[in-house]
Amino acid sequence: MKAPFSKLRRNRKGGVSVVIATIMAVFVLMMAVSQIYLYQNTLTSQTQSTLAEKFTLTNLFVNTTDSKTYFTLTNTGTVEIEFIAIWVNYSRTPFKELLNPTEANMTGLNLKTVINDTFTFQVETSRGNRIIQTYSPLPENAPPDVQATGVFKMSWFYCQYTSSKQRTKSDLLNLSIATSGDKYVVVYLQLTNNWIYPTTIKAQSFLTFLIYSTDPEFYVVNGATYPSGTTTCTDTNTKLTQFTEIVVQPQQTITLAFGAQAPSSTTWNWGSSFPSSVIGTGEGANMLVSVFYTLNGYSAKTFGETLTAQAVRLNSGS
């Protein structure tokens, strides 16, 4: 080690070149290392952003009234997310959406020309993350809470007998059928679509009182219509119109009317012969409602749900 340095001391040019070469080598090494280090940092930061990108996809359903596929995206991560595309099965649709952390947005898009029973829905982000969800509008695939409570939830019902009677609610327990003049008997009940998909209640839906073993059955009607501005109905102006179907949107509540169809007839007019025993007048009268419905636009398949109710006297003194 002594010899080279002693030589360098004598050879000044050689010494300078060695110093320059050393400085350059160190400079090159530092440059290489720093560039790779800095670039590695950039990539690490990108990877961290990709990992920090978290989001949820909820409320996915197809609304057949406007044929749009609705869904809610929520940014649950800590970085801004840019959504760029949506896949429905193997069909890709560009989709631009920017969501800041904690931000959520519900979107409705025209994605499908033919609405199938089930399809795979996938959302892509610019960083390459994705969520895939299988959309299946069948009741057996409903969330557990919907399976437990049913697609429809009944909140109340009451009976009303029409013709020459005022349009006021009559408690089932207090219902009495007049011996003359009454023509129609209608049971009203309120249903809420408990699911996240729109449904269509069909005309085949019916209601029966278990106390009565034979006809009549109560078929769903459009309700009793009355001349506007009147509170009292007469035999001639009260009508029950035939029900076709009704679309019930998610969480929408509707009132269904079930009219007692006259035996051996297609009319609703009972004259004065409506048997009072059809409707239980005492506590414990059981009612059974069979609601038939389809899932809008998905298939011709009709689903059924049975709802039961029992009359309870709320006021113990009466």
Partner 1 sequence: MILIGVTIVLGIAMMAFSQYTINGQHKQMGENLTIEKVQVTGTTIKAYVRSIGDSAFTLSYVNVNGKTCTVSFESGYTAQISANGQNVTITGFAVSSNYLIQFVSTSYRAFPIQVKP
For partner 1, the closer CB: 54 or 127: 127
- The reply on whether position 127 binds partner 1 by CB under 8 A is yes
Scanning 25-33, 179-187, 255-263, 303-311 for contacts with partner 1 by CB under 8 A, the matching segment is 25-33
Strand partners, 75: 55
Query: How does strand 218-225 pair with strand 239-242?
Result: antiparallel
For partner 1, the closer CB: 111 or 187: 111
Query: How does strand 253-260 pair with strand 185-193?
Result: antiparallel
Nearest approach in angstroms of CB 21 to partner 1 is 4
92 residue type, one letter:
R
**In which residue are the tokens 């609705």 written?**
70
CA separation, residue 312 to residues 40, 49, 112, 281 (Å): 73, 60, 48, 11
- The reply on whether position 126 binds partner 1 by CB under 8 A is yes
Residue 82 has φ and ψ, to the nearest 5°, of -110, 115
Nearest approach in angstroms of CB 62 to partner 1 is 20
x/- mask, partner 1, residues 54-93, rule CB under 8 A, reads -------------------------------x-x--x-x-
Instruction: Please say whether the beta carbons of 109 and 91 come within 8 A.
Output: no
Scanning 29-37, 201-209, 213-221, 260-268 for contacts with partner 1 by CB under 8 A, the matching segment is 29-37
- The reply on whether position 35 binds partner 1 by CB under 8 A is yes
For partner 1, the closer CB: 125 or 261: 125
| CA–CA–CA angle 50, 54, 124 (5° rounding) | 70
DSSP secondary structure letters along 140-152: GGS-HHHHHH-SE
85 residue type, one letter:
A
- The reply on whether position 25 binds partner 1 by CB under 8 A is yes
Instruction: Please say whether the beta carbons of 57 and 72 come within 8 A.
Output: yes
- The reply on whether position 267 binds partner 1 by CB under 8 A is no
Scanning 34-42, 64-72, 149-157, 166-174 for contacts with partner 1 by CB under 8 A, the matching segment is 34-42
Question: Which residues of this protein are in contact with partner 1, per CB under 8 A?
Answer: 13-14, 16-18, 20-21, 24-25, 28, 31-32, 35-36, 39-40, 42-43, 46, 85, 87, 90, 92, 122, 124, 126-128, 130
